[in-house]
Structure 1
Amino acid sequence: MNSLALFEVADEQGVSVVPPEKMKAAKAALLTLRHLDSHHLGGLLTVESAIPVGHGYGSSTADVVASIRAVADAFEMQLRPSVVCRLAVEAERASDAIAFEDQAVLFAQREGVVIEHFGDALPPIWVIGFKANDGQLVDTLALPPARYSSEEIQTFAMLRGLAARSIKYQDPHLLGQAATLSAKISQRHLAKAQFATALGIANNFDACGVQVAHSGSLIGIILDATAPGVAGTARNIAEAAATAGFKDVVVQPIYSVRRPS
């Protein structure tokens, strides 16, 4: 799932957007024009996306990042991921790090800055994703910042190290451990219906771990992409999730492109 955007430059100020409800994308286009010192120009922004809104898929950020890149492309420019993220946060106040694509980063979503570059891509994994059965929409900006306990903050520091090791050694099991512990902390602040059921399914199939959208209703079960019979295991997990009542079950292999060392 992705967003596609096209920007047609006009000689008059202002950005029109199709469809008209994509206002964050329009704001991102205006901010990009200003960044490119072309604030005296405007244009027509067309955004196409089938990404569901409000469940943690990153639909808003996908629209915004696609729009920023479309404006830059109209001027035959290519912006650094850090610049794209800064503009995205300015446009939508909280943004995901999708502009970094395969690069694994620890990202401050409300500040638009990278806290840590992990130096490589994620290890090869399969993710079986689905919505919690209540499927309630979540407005990221309406969520107050989580107030973590001192114990949770200490745990996050440990998880940061665990994630770094998983990427350095390309170990999906370490990544799964970090994701599961993070998901359990998230459960105390934005509970997902049937989280325990998802955790049980993961354990039944010896999965690497469970991940959740920290501002959405999505849950994902992580598998080692190099494990024998991974495709069959993924299908079995998908069937178990559907039987348990989870919605919109999707199986997604994720093979990132590793960077030369």
Structure 2
Amino acid sequence: MMIQAICPASCGELLQGYIEGGEKLISYSINLFSRVSIIQKNQNDKENIPHNYTKAYRMLEKVFKYYGYDEKDYKHLCLKIDSPIPIAKGMASSTADLVATATATAEYLGKAITQEEIAKLSIGIEPTDSIVFSEITLFDHLKGSFYKQYGTFPSCKVLLLEGRDVIDTIDFRKTDRTSIIKSNEKEVAEALFHFQKGIKEQSLKELGKAATISGFANQKILYKEGLEEIHEISQRFGAYGINVAHSGSVIGILYNDTDFDREGFCHTLKDKDFMKSYLSICSYDIIPGGGRILTL
């Protein structure tokens, strides 16, 4: 017996900062997935758990215990994770693994687990991106005590620049940046205003403006090489705005094929000195978040 579930990655955050009394973020999902399989095997088959599976096994155990089961009920299960999501770049690779694991585990148990329940279980393991939700969501990614959903994102693509820098979120948060984060409160409030207007009007220009404001505000927290010039060039070729991973190294260019000259943008970018800080450029679709079961 095998059960598989997937969860999409993010391309950083649309915005992040000090909102309504605490740190919150709004992520969006792209069509790049972590796939988790639950397989029934002998206990000996999982004696050497890969390092990057540790959190996923904690989630499997949490879901079993959440529904009142004991260790004997899951000790015969193994996980297999297939994920092309770059690690420690700000693309929610760990959250995607956890959400897919929780979704598959609940399916194994015959339980209808909610996204809110998965979010709470994930927060108990590590800070969690709002890709756990199918709708675009403002989320307290540290405590899980607040979320506000805004519905769907307009049809949009993102050109993802993958940075060379590897940034462990847990290590990054060991440095207290509270004063800097609070100093950005005005800019983040402005970004949230444009975001809410953009969602209400389904305006990619407003949403791009929101993401761009938040991205520039984050430069004094985690600097992105060439961000100002990348934004200027992207605007010249018809993009709606840029967004960043606020604790990672990726940059997103929000666009649609009808308005954006992707070939011209990439050609202009390739000879810039700051591109030495980036590994690749890939295009993705923005899609709904959340875990989903794969039919085998």
Whether these two folds match at TM > 0.5 is: yes
Correspondence for 1:117: 149
Correspondence for 2:9: none
Which runs of no fewer than 5 residues in structure 1 stay unpaired?
Answer: none
List aligned pairs for 1:165-176, cutoff 5 A. 165-176=197-208
List aligned pairs for 1:38-117, cutoff 5 A. 38-40=69-71, 41-42=73-74, 43-91=77-125, 93-101=126-134, 103-117=135-149
Q: Which is worse superposed, 33-42 or 78-87?
A: 33-42
Q: 1:194 to 1:16 in 2, by over 3 A?
A: farther
| Deviation of 1:44 (Å) | 1.4
Correspondence for 2:166: 137
| Deviation of 1:114 (Å) | 3.8
Q: Does the aligned pair in 2 maintain the 1:28–1:88 contact within 8 Å?
A: yes
List aligned pairs for 1:148-159, cutoff 5 A. 148=180, 151-159=183-191
Q: Deviations over 1:14-65 (max 9, x none)?
A: x868645311111111111111211342121221111110111111111111
Instruction: Identify which of 191, 204, 215 aligns with 1:183.
Output: 215
Q: Distance in 2 between matches of 1:256 and 1:236?
A: 29
Q: Which is worse superposed, 239-248 or 136-145?
A: 239-248
| Deviation of 1:127 (Å) | 1.0
Q: 1:151 to 1:107 in 2, by over 3 A?
A: same
Q: CA RMSD in A?
A: 2.4
Q: 1:6 to 1:247 in 2, by over 3 A?
A: same
Correspondence for 1:239: 267
Correspondence for 2:54: 23
List aligned pairs for 1:174-253, cutoff 5 A. 174-223=206-255, 225=256, 228=258, 230=260, 233-244=261-272, 245=275, 246-253=278-285
Q: Distance in 2 between matches of 1:143 and 1:164?
A: 29
| Deviation of 1:78 (Å) | 2.5
Residue 184 of structure 2 aligns to a residue whose secondary structure is helix
TM-score (norm 2): 0.76
Give the count of matched residue pairs.
Answer: 246
Q: 1:9 to 1:251 in 2, by over 3 A?
A: same
TM-score (norm 1): 0.85
Q: Distance in 2 between matches of 1:30 and 1:16?
A: 16
| Deviation of 1:185 (Å) | 0.9
Q: Distance in 2 between matches of 1:70 and 1:3?
A: 12
| Deviation of 1:10 (Å) | 7.6
Q: 1:114 to 1:105 in 2, by over 3 A?
A: farther
Letter of the 2:258 partner, please give it.
P
Q: Deviations over 1:156-177 (max 9, x none)?
A: 2232222111111100000010
Q: Deviations over 1:85-139 (max 9, x none)?
A: 1111112x211111212x1110111112443222x2112222111123xx11001
Q: Distance in 2 between matches of 1:48 and 1:253?
A: 20
Which runs of no fewer than 5 residues in structure 2 stay unpaired?
Answer: 1-31, 290-296
| Deviation of 1:152 (Å) | 1.8
Higher relative contact order (CA 8 A, sep 6+): 2
Q: Distance in 2 between matches of 1:236 and 1:31?
A: 49
